[in-house]
């Protein structure tokens, strides 16, 4: 079990995952959850903190507190995305984002798509330093990714458990998806809803998919990646029909992917080099491409004047 939890992975994978997660945190503040800043405009009596907010305890949010969290977290997340000071910046980002989420989810609605992302933020500082493209394997990096993967799958499995616990078998045969289509459905959803019993079949399929999701850990890597592709396609259909994105969850789910193969900086340099080569800057372009290539041999021998 210990070997499975700490299965070594390339450091380049955790470096890419770290950059993606922290960039999403910055984007989340600006694009996905900017409404958190408006929460403090409602009376403080409406603030009903989550259990963790009561245990710590955390203060009732004020405009000043939320503004400090926002303007501190945004630059720190961008700095953390560079991979520098991974422990110091990582813990700071986790603490601030955790409080941001407590404020967001303490007014009557809790989104379960944040669980995997929060776990990723909590374990990333433990992964240590890592460079993009580094093939060196690390057990610490493997542990951070594995724990995030477990959180991602728990999101599915516990969602099914909650459906059956609170809705019972009636959830399967009820009008859950029909209500979702009425409230926020797209034209595609309207077409699907017109097919008799298709929404009921979809509800059975969703619960079956969520209950069986832990089986992904029993699959070989090739089949596991295909299963993750199915997971993403499931969320694509969800977004296309009832406009629910699950963006934080999708970011956390990249912990299953071989992200070390994704090297946008190298690709950009090669693209620039190729363009310069086509534009007549062949020498400069060749140097740009060769900058990332390892030397093919030792230094060239010195050439002296010919002797008669």
pLDDT of 123? 97
Task: Say whether both 145 and 272 belong to one domain.
Answer: no
Structural domain ending residue among the three candidates 235, 257, 279: 257
Say if residue 112 is in the same domain as residue 185: yes
Could you tell me if 165 and 274 lie in one domain? no
Does residue 301 lie within any of the structural domains? no
Instruction: Count the alpha carbons within 13 Å of 285 in the hemisphere toward its beta carbon.
Output: 13
CB-CB contact of 117 with 145 (8 Å): no
Q: Are 35 and 163 within one domain? A: yes
Mean pLDDT score, 105-131: 93
Same domain, 122 and 208: yes
Range of the domain at 274: 263-291
The encoded tokens of residue 193 equal: 């809803």
Same structural domain for residues 158 and 279? Answer: no
Q: What is the pLDDT of residues 52-76, one digit of tens each?
A: 888 988 888 888 999 999 999 999 9
- How many domains is the chain partitioned into structurally? 2
pLDDT for the residue 49? 87
Q: Calculate the average pLDDT of the chain.
A: 88
Q: What is the pLDDT of residue 284?
A: 52
Are both 158 and 206 inside the same structural domain? yes
Per-residue confidence band for 280, with pLDDT thresholds at 50, 70 and 90: low
- For residues 196 and 290, the model is more confident at 196
75 located within any domain? yes
pLDDT band at 262 (very low <50, low <70, confident <90, very high): confident
Say if residue 12 is in the same domain as residue 108: yes
pLDDT tier, 287 (very low <50, low <70, confident <90, very high otherwise): low
Same domain, 9 and 31: yes
In-domain check, residue 297: no
């Amino acid at each position: 079990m210990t070997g499975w939890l700490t299965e070594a992975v390339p450091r380049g994978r955790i470096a890419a995952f770290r950059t993606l997660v922290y960039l999403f945190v910055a984007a989340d503040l600006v694009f996905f959850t900017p409404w958190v800043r408006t929460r403090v405009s409602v009376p403080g009596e409406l603030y009903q903190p989550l259990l963790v907010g009561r245990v710590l305890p955390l203060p009732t949010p004020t405009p000043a507190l939320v503004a400090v969290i926002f303007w501190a977290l945004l630059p720190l997340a961008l700095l953390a995305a560079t991979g520098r000071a991974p422990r110091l910046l990582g813990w700071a980002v986790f603490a601030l984002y955790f409080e941001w989420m407590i404020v967001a989810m303490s007014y009557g609605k809790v989104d379960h798509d944040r669980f995997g992302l929060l776990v990723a933020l909590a374990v990333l500082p433990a992964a240590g330093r890592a460079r993009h493209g580094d093939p060196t394997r690390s057990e610490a990096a493997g542990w951070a990714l594995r724990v995030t993967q477990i959180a991602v799958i728990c999101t599915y499995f516990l969602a099914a458990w909650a459906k059956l616990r609170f809705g019972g078998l009636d959830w399967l045969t009820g009008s859950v998806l029909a209500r979702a289509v009425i409230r926020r459905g797209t034209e595609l959803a309207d077409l699907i809803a017109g097919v008799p019993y298709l929404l009921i079949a979809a509800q059975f399929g969703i619960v079956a998919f969520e209950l069986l999701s832990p089986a992904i850990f029993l699959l070989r890597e090739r089949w596991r990646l295909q299963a993750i592709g199915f997971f993403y396609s499931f969320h694509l259909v969800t977004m296309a029909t009832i406009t629910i994105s699950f963006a934080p969850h999708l970011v956390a789910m990249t912990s299953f992917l071989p992200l070390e193969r994704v090297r946008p900086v190298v690709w950009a340099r090669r693209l620039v080099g190729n363009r310069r080569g086509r534009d007549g800057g062949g020498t400069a372009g060749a140097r740009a491409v060769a900058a990332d290539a390892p030397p093919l041999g030792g230094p060239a021998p010195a050439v002296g004047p010919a002797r008669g």
